[in-house]
């Protein structure tokens, strides 16, 4: 599965049901009149916990710039902007980025950038004091591509900064088949409309990838990164094992 295919799928999701695509615990079909106050409140709660952990790890001395990778509608970027002088959100989906700019136009220290490459070349080395990404890396189709982004995160992270990312570490064999995604692709090829596939048939193009925790830790060590903490999380639901990693360099 190519990056261009992922981009196409997420542009469709960004147009038809962006709130659900960002946070699948929400009901589908909220694109018409979603409760954006409640939507952004979930981001505030999530980031509050992350920043509390950052304080506990002693990573609160420098908070000039932060990167929200896979920002979607800016749910987490907006929350991060209350802790940093500048919060930058990047996303592969042009509709997501455009909507994020509209929804957050009153927040001066939020910036949203389209990033359609498999790297972060538009940012220099040692650029961000913190990088956060959750419910994003799991949708990248190959482990090699995920590792390439992890390498980029370490590159653009400031010395002594904090990288926080979530990633599934194990998916049961029966869940790896991903029948809803396969049926979505099959019916779309037959000409069934994306809105019907998403809302009426309850299908989704989202891909799920995992990397075992030990492999992630070994790879980060090979990049010269330091592991501050790793803990299990429930971001993928009860059937998929997932972990959140706190990393520095």
Q: What is the pLDDT of residue 71?
A: 98
Band (7; pLDDT cuts 50, 70, 90): confident
Q: What is the pLDDT of residue 195?
A: 87
Q: What is the pLDDT of residue 25?
A: 79
Residues in the chain: 249
Percent of the chain surpassing pLDDT 70 = 97
In the chain, DSSP assigns E strands to 65-69, 86-91, 110-114, 128-133, 157-171, 226-233, 240-248
| Proportion of the chain in helix, strand, coil states, percent, rounded to 5 | 40, 20, 35
Q: What is the pLDDT of residue 82?
A: 97
Q: Strand, coil or helix: what is 177?
A: coil
Judge whether residue 145 has pLDDT over 90.
yes
pLDDT, tens digit (0-9, with 9 covering 90-100), for 72-92:
999 999 999 999 999 999 999
Q: Just give the CATH number of 3-248.
A: 3.40.50.150
pLDDT, tens digit (0-9, with 9 covering 90-100), for 186-195:
889 999 998 8
Judge whether residue 197 has pLDDT over 80.
yes
Q: What is the pLDDT of residue 28?
A: 67
> How do the domains of the chain map onto residue ranges?
3-248
Cβ neighbors of 222 (< 8 A, separation 6 or more) are none
Q: What is the pLDDT of residue 1?
A: 58
Q: Strand, coil or helix: what is 135?
A: coil
Q: Are 28 and 17 contacting, i.e. CB atoms less than 8 angstroms apart?
A: yes
Among 8-12, 15-19, 129-133, the range of highest mean pLDDT = 129-133
Q: What is the pLDDT of residue 30?
A: 54
Q: What is the pLDDT of residue 200?
A: 84
- Backbone angles phi and psi of 212, in degrees to 5: -55, 145
Band (32; pLDDT cuts 50, 70, 90): low
């Amino acid at each position: 599965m190519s990056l261009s295919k992922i981009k196409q799928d997420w542009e469709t999701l960004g147009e038809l049901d962006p709130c659900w695509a960002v946070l699948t615990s929400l009901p589908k079909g909220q694109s018409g009149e979603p409760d954006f106050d409640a939507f952004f409140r979930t981001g505030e709660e999530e980031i509050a916990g992350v920043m509390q952990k950052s304080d506990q790890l002693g990573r609160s001395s420098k908070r000039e710039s932060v990167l929200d990778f896979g920002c979607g509608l800016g749910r987490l970027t907006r929350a991060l902007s209350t802790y940093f002088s500048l919060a930058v959100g990047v996303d592969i989906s042009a509709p997501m980025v455009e909507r994020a700019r509209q929804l957050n136009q009153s927040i001066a220290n939020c910036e949203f950038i389209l990033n359609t490459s498999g790297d972060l070349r538009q940012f220099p080395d040692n650029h961000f004091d913190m990088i956060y990404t959750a419910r994003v890396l799991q949708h990248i189709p190959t482990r090699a591509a995920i590792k390439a982004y992890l390498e980029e995160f370490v590159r653009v992270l400031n010395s002594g900064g904090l990288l926080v990312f979530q990633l599934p570490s194990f998916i049961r064999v029966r869940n790896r088949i991903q029948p809803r995604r396969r049926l979505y692709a099959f019916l779309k090829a037959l000409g069934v409309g994306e809105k019907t596939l998403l809302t009426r048939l309850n299908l989704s193009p989202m891909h799920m990838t995992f990397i075992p925790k030990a492999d992630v830790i070994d790879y980060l060590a090979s990049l010269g990164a330091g592991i501050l903490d790793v803990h299990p999380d429930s971001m993928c639901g009860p059937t998929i094992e997932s972990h959140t990693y706190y990393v520095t360099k």
